[in-house]
């Protein structure tokens, strides 16, 4: 098979042996695979894949068709349309995935759209509901809202009945984020004056943390998911005590199979039906064929996009 391959800090297409599904695994012919910030870090050697995942083939998510099943795999049959988060190896023509990580692709979604769903909708759903316990009527701030996780978080928050404020640094993208259901879209400067917020989905990182806390309502929760802007911040513990504040932080990729399976079941139950009803959509900023994987990475790092960059396999 052909796959995006990282060598010496560059990404290009190379030939690899076809993978074979092990016990409980399914072989997926990948039709589309979204790009994520982790791929960019992995390309530069700063974010190795977890043990058990291909080390040189990037890709944290995929969508495609089942072509074979390993021993004991019985949730899906050949020809089923499936999508999943994976520890790595998603940006390839073929990938093996444990069946408990796989989800059916809603009929309403194309392969390309589905390729941009698993990583960002799982991350946003887990952060907002499983970790922060977001409830209807609460006020949510999404920091860095125009990207993949942000556009998922805005839509999930609005659909769940929260009042959603989205901070977006590119003026050109604010209208697009409002169209996804954000009740107000603001520039990042001065966001701390716009509270109080019950939940902050922090996708930019350390530079925002003091302002996040300042803008937090009593019993508010901050969930740190992205640290592209910086990882080290000072926290005023007195302000945390005064607000009975919670600060949480999380990653998805290193979680064991049983925990990833739980996130997949949560998405099947609470998110996929919303795609079927047309209440959620996948903003795809650009698509690239596998052969142009280097251009796709370049586009991702340039920024200024609404939603996802997706690789399409022939």
Ligand X SMILES: NC(=O)c1ccc[n+]([C@@H]2O[C@H](COP(=O)([O-])OP(=O)(O)OC[C@H]3O[C@@H](n4cnc5c(N)ncnc54)[C@H](OP(=O)(O)O)[C@@H]3O)[C@@H](O)[C@H]2O)c1
Regarding beta strands 163-167 and 184-186, do their DSSP bridges make them parallel or antiparallel, or are they unpaired?
parallel
Q: Which of the stretches 3-11, 36-44, 212-220, 233-241 binds ligand X when contact is defined by CB under 6 A?
A: 36-44
53, 123, 131, 165: which one binds ligand X (CB under 6 A): 123
- Over the window 251 to 280, marking each residue x when it contacts ligand X by CB under 6 A and - when it does not, the resulting string is xx----------------------------
Q: How far is the CB of 230 from ligand X (least distance, A)?
A: 8
Helix extents (H) in 126-196: 148-159, 174-179
21, 59, 89, 144: which one binds ligand X (CB under 6 A): 144
Minimal CB distance residue for ligand X:
147
Count of residues binding ligand X (CB under 6 A)?
A: 27
Instruction: Work out whether 166 is an interface residue with ligand X (CB under 6 A).
Output: no
Angle between helices 118-125 and 257-270 (to 10 degrees): 90
Q: Which of the stretches 2-10, 69-77, 80-88, 222-230 binds ligand X when contact is defined by CB under 6 A?
A: 222-230
| Residue among 219 and 250 whose Cβ is closer to ligand X | 250
Q: How far is the CB of 67 from ligand X (least distance, A)?
A: 28
Residues in the chain: 314
Question: Collapsing DSSP states into helix, strand and coil, what is residue 97?
Answer: strand
Instruction: Work out whether 190 is an interface residue with ligand X (CB under 6 A).
Output: no
Beta strands in 37-93 (DSSP E): 61-69, 81-85
Instruction: Work out whether 148 is an interface residue with ligand X (CB under 6 A).
Output: yes
Instruction: Work out whether 150 is an interface residue with ligand X (CB under 6 A).
Output: yes
Q: How far is the CB of 59 from ligand X (least distance, A)?
A: 13
Instruction: Work out whether 117 is an interface residue with ligand X (CB under 6 A).
Output: no
Instruction: Work out whether 36 is an interface residue with ligand X (CB under 6 A).
Output: yes
Q: Which of the stretches 72-80, 146-154, 234-242, 272-280 binds ligand X when contact is defined by CB under 6 A?
A: 146-154
Whole-angstrom Cα Rg for the chain: 19
Asked if residue 220 lies in contact with residue 197, where contact means CB atoms within 8 angstroms, the answer is: yes
Question: Collapsing DSSP states into helix, strand and coil, what is residue 54?
Answer: coil
Asked if residue 36 lies in contact with residue 47, where contact means CB atoms within 8 angstroms, the answer is: no
| Residue among 21 and 36 whose Cβ is closer to ligand X | 36
Instruction: Work out whether 101 is an interface residue with ligand X (CB under 6 A).
Output: no
| Residue among 254 and 273 whose Cβ is closer to ligand X | 254
Question: Collapsing DSSP states into helix, strand and coil, what is residue 272?
Answer: helix
Q: How far is the CB of 24 from ligand X (least distance, A)?
A: 24
CA 162, distance to chain mean position in Å, is: 20
C-alpha distance across the termini of the chain, in Å: 12
Asked if residue 307 lies in contact with residue 147, where contact means CB atoms within 8 angstroms, the answer is: yes
Can you count the helices (H) and strands (E) in the chain? 10, 15
């Amino acid at each position: 098979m052909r796959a995006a391959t990282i060598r010496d800090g560059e990404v290009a297409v190379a030939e690899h042996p076809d993978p074979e599904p092990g016990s409980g695994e399914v072989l997926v012919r990948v039709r589309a695979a979204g790009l994520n910030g982790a791929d960019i870090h992995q390309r530069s050697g700063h974010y190795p894949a977890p043990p058990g995942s291909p080390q040189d083939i990037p890709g944290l998510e995929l969508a495609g068709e089942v072509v074979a099943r390993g021993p004991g795999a019985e949730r899906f049959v050949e020809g089923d349309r499936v999508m999943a988060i994976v520890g790595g190896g998603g940006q390839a023509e073929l990938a093996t995935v444990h069946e408990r990580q796989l989800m059916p692709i809603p009929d309403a979604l194309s392969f390309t759209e589905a390729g941009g769903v698993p990583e960002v909708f799982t991350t946003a759903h887990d952060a907002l509901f499983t970790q922060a316990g977001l409830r209807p009527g609460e006020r949510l701030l999404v920091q860095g809202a125009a990207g993949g996780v942000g556009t998922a978080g805005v839509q999930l928050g609005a659909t769940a009945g929260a009042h959603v404020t989205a901070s977006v640094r590119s003026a050109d993208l604010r209208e697009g984020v409002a169209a996804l259901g954000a009740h107000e879209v603001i520039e990042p400067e001065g966001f701390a004056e716009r509270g109080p917020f019950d939940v902050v989905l922090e996708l930019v990182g350390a530079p925002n943390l003091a302002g996040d806390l300042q803008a937090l309502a009593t019993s508010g929760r901050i969930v740190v998911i992205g640290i592209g802007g910086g990882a080290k911040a000072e926290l005023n513990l007195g302000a945390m005590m005064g607000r009975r504040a919670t600060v949480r932080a999380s990653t998805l990729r290193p979680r064991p199979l049983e925990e990833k399976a739980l996130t997949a079941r949560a998405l099947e139950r609470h998110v996929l039906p919303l795609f079927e009803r047309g209440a959620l959509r996948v903003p795809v900023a650009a698509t690239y064929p596998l052969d142009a994987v280097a251009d796709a990475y370049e586009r991702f790092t340039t920024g200024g996009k609404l939603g996802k960059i997706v690789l399409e396999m022939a």
